[in-house]
Amino acid sequence: MNAFRLTPIAAALALVAASPSGLAQAVAETEPTQLEQVEVNATQDRANLKNDTTSIGRVPAAVRDIPQSITIINRALLNAQGATSLSDAIRNVPGITIGAAEGGQIGNNINLRGFTARTDIFIDGIRDRGQYYRDTFFIDTVEVLKGPSSILFGRGSTGGVINQVSKQASLVPLNEASVTVGTHDQYRAVVDTDQPLSDTSAIRISAMGQNIQTTRDVLTNEDYGVAPTIRFGINTPTTVTINGLFQHNHDMADYGISSLNGGPAPVDYDNFYGLTDDRILQDATVIGVKLEHRFSDRLSLRNQVQYNRTAVDARETNSARVGTFLPTADGGGAFTILPTSTTGYYTALPLQSLSILLQSKDRAIVDDSLFNQTDLIANFDTGPVKHTLLTSFEIGRDTYQNQAITRVDPAITGPNATTGLAVLSLASPTYAPASPRTVRTTGNLVTSNANTLAASVNDTIEFTPELKLVAGLRFDRYRARLANSIPSATVLSEVGQNVTHTSVRVGPIWQPSKEQSYYVAYGTSFNPSLETLTVTTGQQALQPEKNKSYEVGAKWDLLGEALSVTAAAFRIEKDNARTQISTGVYELDGNIRVDGGEVGVTGRLAADLQVFAGYTFLDAKIVQASALDGTQGKVPANTPRHSATIWSTYNVTHRIELGSGLTYQSSRFASNTNVAQAPGFVRWDGTVAYHLPKYDVRFNILNIADKDYITALIPSDGGRYVPGVGRTALLTLTTRF
């Protein structure tokens, strides 16, 4: 363990030592004449939380020209908060909640505006559907576009999409390294070097290594990664960018704590309910090539191809049942589940009398995708009307394999314990590896693939400087096939689905001045039943679920455009949701509706005072569902009615920065049946930093009040709750050379 702990950090720091000495010398030689300017710009850039432009629509555009709600988390905010994962980053976006690894899903599982966004994560505009835990070391910004957006991104995007914008090579030299040491045995190192190779080419390498333990007992993450990018033809008509991401995770899954009496069991939130030899090995590979050619100032072509591969080897356990246990001398015993398992495990028994039955969640997953996307961007006029026309063509293929593996301890008996792996005390779990009696069985192998073919056209029309219209159409053909190696009465040996769908988007924009923008927007999206390429027994013959979004909003730039204020009201409706009418039989007869509103404030309130804040209200309801589903009139899982975030930084002096922020979520249900509920919470974080031309020293405290709260929910087995991090201190030293 100790050897591994040093290895990823040492590997990251070694890239700094390997930087060409000539380049470092060139930077040093220019420093005496530019020292003051470098210092001032670095401080201002680092503290600037506001972004005015975005590329999430495939064409660089001002945020005010996007007729949808959009939140942009930039590198300055990530650094200030000590955010090292995608989950950390998107907690700045009210209306987003986190799910945990469940149902064959591992990695980032996200809900946006009440709908799952597990496959709606992108890197530089290309779908990144792999199941792994994403880091921020290679990310420049995270863009969250809210509301159905199939016109731009194809299938999915019911609640919106999340786009990771990677760091790009430039002609501005950069050599930066940071080391973070934290309480609870946390270590992390990040290197970022950007070097020109000629007047028109450059290479950039970002690398990360970490060994992270948390306030949760036993849990540890040992990860490393490298993201190289090389660009040719910078500032010329033709630019070629080659980028990669190679990341390895050796983590432990956290299935949280079980439900008891309709809420989280009243146990110590540091408790871990798993086995000490649990681990998830993840290898993520992303390789992309992008060609951009500018024919003229009014016509350009972009072709982008990206290959993604994620391999997962998971050996993990979850707290599957709550009940009582009568042990035997050999370490086995009889387990009896509480009779109220489907209603949140209600019982009058004392906590000390209850036990947790663990079950294995082992699986081996290989997820591949190859996509090619071509965009033609034309700017032209028809009389006095100006157009920015984006014509796109996309072709792609996904393949997926999921090998289920079951481990069982035969010494654990009982009518509901035939698949049990271990039994732990609910109040005081002991930490140990799996029993040597464990029997391992290879189960069903799911193999699936999908082919995507799509064409779209999107036009931004400027009738006058005050009046614009964004409108577009997209046609998708999605063909998927899935096979099971062990079929049964409810699991078919092979299924297939052929889907064709046309998505639309329209949004008039009125901008009476450069400080004001008002819009009305309508958009659609669709969800095939084989969207995630996992088992969907009885659903594959159905047409896709269809989603509609109505949004009205405003965007203002105030205080000399230093402060951005946004507001929006919206409705998202899935009016043909899948609902189960009998065992294995589904119909498109359900209805899910989310009405809501949000406000956001980003930018400078004063020269030295900045704020990044937002609030989202969600009135979500399952309007119609079958009697068998039993969810009609309920609130969709993991959808808080109220959520808000605020982060503020203040430059006390040119060198000293203070920052603090709050995250709030109201209560939310663990499943659509609404039988188990997580309480609301407020988390308080803070930072203080000292900036010098060549060094930054930053001290962060996460969860200052050491608040017990639930960060992620799992719907199955009566509901499970993943606790958030307890009070944690982080000290980061960053050097530029």
**Per-residue pLDDT tens over the stretch 583-627:** 778 899 999 999 999 999 999 999 999 999 999 999 999 999 999
Residue 18: the pLDDT is 41
Question: Which whole-number Å values give the CA distances from 71 to 94, 95, 242, 357, 600, in the listed order?
Answer: 10, 11, 27, 42, 9
353-371 as b/e, with b when 16 or more CB fall inside 10 Å?
ebbbbbbbbbbbbbbbbeb
Residue 540: the pLDDT is 72
- Tell me the DSSP string of 591-645: EEEEEEEEEEEEEEEETTEEEEEEEEEEEEEEEE--TTTT-TTPPPTT--SEEEE
Q: pLDDT band at residue 515, thresholds of 50, 70 and 90? A: very high
Q: How many CB atoms lie within 10 A of CB 287?
A: 15
Residue 419: the pLDDT is 86
Closest CA to 568 of 160, 88, 162: 160
In terms of pLDDT, which residue wins out, 101 or 333? 333
- Torsions phi, psi of 359, nearest 5? -125, 150
Residue 11: the pLDDT is 41
Residue 606 contacts by C-beta under 8 Å, 6 or more apart in sequence?
none
Residue 342: the pLDDT is 79
Question: What is the chain's alpha carbon radius of gyration, rounded to the nearest angstrom?
Answer: 26
N- to C-terminal Cα distance for the chain?
32
User: At residue 651, does pLDDT exceed 80?
Assistant: yes
- Torsions phi, psi of 136, nearest 5? -105, 5
At 201, list the tokens: 């080419």
In terms of pLDDT, which residue wins out, 58 or 462? 462
CA 411 to chain centre: 40
Instruction: Check: CB of residue 400 under 8 Å from CB of residue 448.
Output: yes
Residue 391 contacts by C-beta under 8 Å, 6 or more apart in sequence?
375, 376, 378, 456, 457
For strands 263-264 and 257-260, give the pairing. Answer: antiparallel
Residues in the chain: 737
Beta partners for residue 722, in sequence order: 712
Amino acid present at 438: T
Residue 109 contacts by C-beta under 8 Å, 6 or more apart in sequence?
98, 99, 100, 101, 102, 116, 118, 712
Burial class (CB in 10 A: 0-12, 13-18, 19+), 284: buried
- Mean pLDDT, rounded, for 246-258: 93
Q: How far apart are CA 406 and CA 445, in angstroms?
A: 12
Residue 10: the pLDDT is 44
Instruction: Check: CB of residue 508 under 8 Å from CB of residue 501.
Output: no
Instruction: Check: CB of residue 672 under 8 Å from CB of residue 715.
Output: yes
In terms of pLDDT, which residue wins out, 719 or 411? 411
In terms of pLDDT, which residue wins out, 490 or 238? 238
Residue 542: the pLDDT is 85
CA dihedral 344, 349, 353, 359 (to 10 degrees): -20
Residue 33: the pLDDT is 34
What's the mean per-residue pLDDT of the chain? 90
Per residue in 31-85, pLDDT (tens digit) is 333 333 333 344 434 468 999 999 898 888 999 999 999 999 999 999 999 999 9
- Mean pLDDT, rounded, for 630-649: 96
User: Domains in the chain, ordered, with CATH?
Assistant: 2-320+365-736 (2.40.170.20)
CA 329 to chain centre: 46
Residue 453: the pLDDT is 98
Burial class (CB in 10 A: 0-12, 13-18, 19+), 718: buried
User: At residue 633, does pLDDT exceed 60?
Assistant: yes
DSSP conformation class of 135: B
Which residue is it, tokens 């930077």? Answer: 27
Beta partners for residue 546, in sequence order: 526
Alpha helices (H) in 115-173, listed in sequence order: 150-153
Closest CA to 717 of 341, 423, 407: 341
User: At residue 560, does pLDDT exceed 80?
Assistant: yes
User: At residue 17, does pLDDT exceed 60?
Assistant: no
Q: pLDDT band at residue 100, thresholds of 50, 70 and 90? A: low
User: At residue 224, does pLDDT exceed 90?
Assistant: yes
- Mean pLDDT, rounded, for 485-508: 90
Could you tell me what percent of the chain has a pLDDT over 70? 93
User: At residue 446, does pLDDT exceed 50?
Assistant: yes
User: At residue 693, does pLDDT exceed 80?
Assistant: yes
SS3 63: helix
User: At residue 694, does pLDDT exceed 90?
Assistant: yes
- Mean pLDDT, rounded, for 9-17: 41
Question: Which whole-number Å values give the CA distances from 141 to 90, 167, 204, 425, in the listed order?
Answer: 11, 8, 16, 44
Residue 148: the pLDDT is 86
